[in-house]
Chains A and B, each alone.
Chain A
């Protein structure tokens, strides 16, 4: 049986990081470092997404919709509204998920697979191409108008489950991410309405990350 359950949230987090990346101007030669550099400068990212999962179990793809929030340097929330309301939060090295049943939060922080993703995510957040290269084979193709960054895991435990992650974008930033698993499953996430420099209020952050310092300081209203 497969251990670890956090491929998707980690990839979503990685994706959020790249959402904020500002690609070079069209026509310029693409460099991974340059693509990631925009990370450090952004105040925050908010994006809507549509995710299609093609699973071997299902004859038809599963579609989810929701919103993604990224607050530098290391906080990300992914809320779905369809087909059910779910909440995924990453805060530093912590990762929590609440499913549609509305039950208690699940802490995924201790999963070795999840931790691997967190470390990678941090590398992306920091625009740390060197660290990413330690863990993935990076291949950037295309040009600024239509680029694709392929990440192929170099080592366990990721390489046992993930065949590759493919981030695609254009001059406006990243538009979609595709995750291909070893068993043939595939998830394609498309982004829209991307706010690449969102200034989060303390109230927003308190609501998005209830365990964080903003929540500890006092009651917060929703974003």
Chain B
């Protein structure tokens, strides 16, 4: 195929890929991708479930107005409209009569099985004559009220109030809201409605438009009601839930991405043009990095379906890596002393480029084997991107180099100047090497002071207004905490239910002790068969109970015959204990689902907590229960990230050993291998020392940056070692590395402008690291005076 044909084919392929990516590209900011998956740990499974649980998918909408009734009306209209939205899985704005009827049908016949969590101790007092007399007095009083028809019916079959105890248990765990005109209203008069979205709260692509629909629906209703109620109606909507943070994060990342790409691209172009190039040559050197990003994005979308914002940010870094190869090839081909075809130049530099790419890929490979989808994605993206950039440089770029035209004379002059500078450096190598080694020693001494922060939530910036609104709404409805639950792990349903009963007893004590405000646990809804049976047995074996009821109630004016239904129930065989399957068969499985989780073969009995004041107190209350944990998402994630960070550091050390081995295999001598490797090792030491020296806590993103910096630092070392002993080629290498360094620093420097602290950490660390790598690589070469014993790729 002719050159023009090959160019056309490559261009068409790139265009097709770019079009496909543009149509498919979906950027997410899903925090669940930073949770470990595939782990056998039930707690890891719980962590992932919580991050995408119904609780997390629940939005709380709070409507304020001049009058409660107006707020309730607006909330009612909003609920009616949102109930039809396809994204809404369920919506609760008031009591659900249908659910109440189903619950009554299931629980009323089994009411005697749900009397007490501690029946042997509690029931004798509850069924004693004195307690029954109190109950009779209270019932008589309440019968005089307007609810008497319902009470009368209840009292005939349940004079001891067993069903009322169940109803009270259901209500106690939930938010303390009252009802006004069928709408839930908070204590401070805001009408409240709860809804769960079908998609994850972090699916920002879905949640952005959905939140816009919610706002638009509310505003439309508010305009109509304001026209009726007057301009001082004061209708206002506040929203609580994770959805808004995800949408805001995605918007922030998108804004960042645009700014970073524009700045990176513009800066890299300006630097390239200033130092060596023409516009045409710039277009040529951009081919490998752009191809790398394009192929990595395409394959990433194919494999993962969508790409995380952080992955896309890493794409800009790849631009800095990928351009190194093309700049190196272009400058060497153009500044070669004799005529050298682009393909011959590519062949000559092939080993250097291959080794550089392999060592960079080795730096990212470690992340591919983690259980964190986000880091696997970044690793995949980086590996594919670097490999593509390398192969494009080696195989396709020679077709495009003729298009670049000749380099301007200043490029050759700059290369010569750099070679001269290197000669001057080499003459003072001991002094400079001494300074570098002293800096390394200082950094090593500072290392023990290095601190680590593994709580990634501290590396995320949230809009303070959104945070404040979320806090207000959550306080208004006394929401359960989304990231802190008590979980008991058991092998089967009965064991899980028994464990949840014990958890409930302990949590009640903790509430009494003031460690928390309340809890909603599995035991609010379902008890073990054994406990239901014990309750039933105690009531039924109490032969004197009907007589005591008759006596106590008779003294308050109740007819003995009125309680025949109660006596008949006690004589009849008890219904089978209530089980999970009964609730599911009645269509009430969704009530149970968040409280009894299947966690990789274990069952997790969950209790959601409200108003936690003392985690230590709760932990102490549960301390002696085996397999029961106060699970704190943040702490758990921090522990996981801490482990991941330590693993990554170990992998980095292992990767470094692998790199040294590769270098030794290639050069067959320790001196050039050490020359190529030393700068990257020293840079890693200096970076960590600098963080320690400036009192900056290091985090996972710094470690990821170290991977990048070490990978690129070794490239510099390899390119320099391979060009040593060839003055013309050496100057070209120094020039290509300078261009690479400055463009990379610029590309990463743009990341430092990000609003996201994680991206800033990557930008600053990598930028400083790459600059240091460029300074240290020639220094190492000068100090060790290395030239490869056998340099297959002479430069």
Contacts and interface: CB of A to CB of B under 8 A. Distances in A.
A, B: real partners? yes
Interface of A: 1-9, 12, 51, 53, 55-60, 62-64, 78, 80, 83-84, 86, 88, 91-94, 96-97, 99-100, 104-107, 109-112, 161, 181, 185, 211-213, 216
Interface string B165-187: 00000000000101111100000
A91 to B, nearest CB: 8
Nearest to A10: B146
Contact of B148 (A8, A91, A100): A8
B557 A83 contact: no
Contacts of B151: 5
Contacts of B179: 105-107, 109-110
Contacts of B150: 2-5
Given A3-B101, A93-B181, A110-B179, A57 B66 contact: no
Contact of A55 (B68, B143, B145): B143
Interface of B: 66-69, 94-95, 97, 101, 104, 108, 140-156, 176, 178-182, 557-559, 562
A94 B69 contact: yes
A111 B95 CA distance: 10
Nearest to B187: A104
A4 B97 CA distance: 11
16 contacts: A5-B146, A5-B151, A8-B146, A58-B558, A63-B144, A83-B144, A99-B145, A100-B141, A105-B178, A107-B178, A109-B181, A110-B179, A181-B149, A211-B68, A212-B67, A216-B68
A107 B183 CA distance: 9
Contact of B143 (A4, A58, A97, A212): A58
A86 B146 CA distance: 9
Contacts of B180: 94, 96, 107, 109, 211
A88 B146 contact: yes
Given A59-B557, A110-B95, A7 B149 contact: yes
Given A5-B150, A57-B562, A59-B557, A94 B181 contact: yes
A199 to B, nearest CB: 23
Nearest to A61: B557
Contacts of A84: 141, 144-145
Contact of B144 (A53, A59, A97): A53
A185 B152 contact: yes
A100 B151 CA distance: 14
Closest 10 CB pairs of A and B: A107-B179, A5-B150, A8-B146, A216-B67, A9-B146, A57-B562, A5-B147, A110-B182, A94-B181, A2-B153
Nearest to B95: A110
A181 to B, nearest CB: 7
Most buried by A among B97, B101, B147: B147
Contacts of A211: 67-69, 180
Instruction: Point out which of A9, A12, A59 has the most chain B C-beta atoms below 10 A from its C-beta.
Output: A59
Contacts of B95: 107, 110
Contacts of B155: 57
Given A104-B178, A185-B152, A1 B145 contact: no
A56 B147 contact: no
Given A5-B151, A51-B144, A107-B181, 7 more contacts: A1-B108, A5-B146, A8-B149, A57-B155, A86-B145, A110-B94, A213-B67
Nearest to B108: A1
A58 B178 contact: no
Contacts of A213: 67
A56 B562 contact: yes
Contact of B156 (A57, A99, A104): A57
A56 B150 CA distance: 13
Contacts of A212: 67, 69
B179 to A, nearest CB: 3
A12 B144 CA distance: 13
A57 B562 CA distance: 5
Given A1-B153, A3-B101, A104-B178, A97 B558 contact: no
Contacts of B69: 91, 94, 211-212
B143 to A, nearest CB: 6
A59 B181 contact: no
A130 to B, nearest CB: 27
Contacts of A64: 144
Contacts of B145: 8, 80, 84, 86, 97, 99-100
Contacts of B154: 1
B144 A58 contact: no
Contacts of A8: 145-146, 148-149
A3 B95 CA distance: 14
Nearest to B554: A59
Among A64, A88, A94, the most chain B Cβ lie within 10 Å of the Cβ of: A94
A97 B142 contact: no
Nearest to B100: A3
A59 B559 contact: yes
A4 B557 CA distance: 25
Contacts of B182: 107, 109-110
A97 B559 contact: no
Nearest to B139: A57
A91 B146 CA distance: 16
A6 B69 CA distance: 21
A174 to B, nearest CB: 19
A93 B181 CA distance: 7
Contact of A97 (B147, B156, B557): B147
A67 to B, nearest CB: 15
Contact of B558 (A6, A59, A100, A105): A59
A1 B146 CA distance: 17
A164 to B, nearest CB: 15
Nearest to B66: A216
B104 A1 contact: yes
Nearest to B560: A59
B668 to A, nearest CB: 85
Contacts of B94: 107, 110
A59 B145 CA distance: 17
Nearest to B176: A104
A107 B67 CA distance: 17
Nearest to A115: B182
Nearest to B153: A2
A190 B628 CA distance: 61
A57 B181 contact: no
Contacts of A92: 181
A211 B150 CA distance: 26
Contacts of B152: 55-57, 185
A62 B144 contact: yes
A114 B154 CA distance: 18
Given A56-B562, A94-B181, A80 B144 contact: yes
Contacts of A181: 149
The residue in A51, A107, A161 that gathers the most chain B C-beta atoms within 10 A of its C-beta is A107
Contacts of A5: 146-147, 149-151
Contact of A58 (B104, B147, B557): B557
B218 to A, nearest CB: 21
Nearest to B155: A57
B161 to A, nearest CB: 13
B108 to A, nearest CB: 7
Contacts of A107: 94-95, 178-182
A63 B557 CA distance: 13
B498 to A, nearest CB: 31
Contacts of B140: 58, 62
A93 to B, nearest CB: 7
Nearest to A94: B181
A3 to B, nearest CB: 7
Contacts of B562: 56-58
Contacts of B181: 92-94, 107, 109
Contacts of B68: 211, 216
